[in-house]
Amino acid sequence: MENVDNQYLLLTPGPLTTSPSVREAMLKDWCTWDDDYNKGIVQVIRQQLVQMATQHHGYTSVLMQGSGTASVEATIGSVIPADGKLLVVNNGAYGERIGQIAQYLNIAHHVIELDEVTQPSVEQLIDVLETDHTITHVAMVHCETTTGMLNPIEAVCDVVKSHNKVMILDAMSSFGGIPMDIGELGIDFMISSANKCIQGVPGFGFVIAKQTELERCKGLARSLSLDLYDQWQCMEINQGKWRFTSPTHTVRAFHQALIELTEEGGVAARFDRYSMNQKILVEGMEKLGIQCLLPCDLHSPIITSFFSPEHPDYDFKQFYNLLKQKGFVIYPGKVSNADCFRIGNIGDVHNHDIENLITAVSESMYWLAGNQ
């Protein structure tokens, strides 16, 4: 279905362009105490998320109000004991944010600091884990949307599990769009958000956890509202009931988004669409002389960073506004040592949309060059 009622396509890593039927699902009010909502929607979502995440038994899910970052903070603040220590792999703004959360919560932590265009090294990870035996947990971002880099979760998880540490994965911008089995990988806590690859709207995040690890978290939380264990217990005991006010409209939209993911053919089919979107995007931009920040083997199908054109008349804000007038919204760059911008291709965005974007970029660049 075309998004003819949208003023523009959101070519960002989320919030993103949603289908008309997902938006329409929010037009009905729901009671947070009613079984139609709790058992009929929330519990169904929780079960579907676990089924999407792994074929292994022993996993559960918990939904958390707020942004994706709130769910990351709920996890970091709820699963690490007072005598624990977190190792953070940081090669972008969202890895850095995990370190900031640990600092705010006074959690002992060590950060492997990498620049935004460098993948984590297995050797470096091994060296840290074998040098500092006080580390109990390891956290990393899967798709670092600072650049669009896809980090090597298989290799990292192998190292973490071989050293008997708890693995926390921020899969905010990858879950639902990139096939993975968190049980196979040995991931203990995986965090994502409603408004990413499952193509819902903002309002809540979720954590899919190994149940035996989550059961160990009773009484560890450093926050009342972000107590992951208590939220899970409430949903388990009360069949989908949230401890505090549930974002009912957002949850109902997410339920519809899950239906549409299944109708599309599941995560594998969505991965194929996103990958083709990204391929068309990169090829089209390179034909226009706009180069990628990262080499292709580090790309994800989620979002891509491009070097800003070197033309003296180029100005990102003006470029942004020209594309917005043509129906496309892109993202500014977030890399510390490179002048760049980012274009996402997830959401209800299809191959012809990216082809139309390339035409709009070409026309906008022509205008910026003074040929209007």
Cα–chain center distance at 159: 23
Tokens 């997902």, residue located: 22
Q: Are 71 and 205 within 8 A, CB to CB? A: yes
Question: What is the C-alpha to C-alpha distance for residues 301 and 152, in angstroms, rounded to an integer?
Answer: 14
Question: What is the C-alpha to C-alpha distance for residues 222 and 58, in angstroms, rounded to an integer?
Answer: 26
Strand order in the sheet with 109-113: 59-65, 204-210, 189-193, 166-170, 137-141, 86-90, 109-113
Which candidate, 230, 253, 327, 302, places its Cα nearest to that of 45?
A: 253
Question: What is the C-alpha to C-alpha distance for residues 273 and 292, in angstroms, rounded to an integer?
Answer: 20
Contacts of 56 (CB under 8 A, 6+ apart): 181, 182, 183, 184
Q: Any binding-site annotation on 222?
A: no
Binding residues: 342
Binding residues for substrate: 342
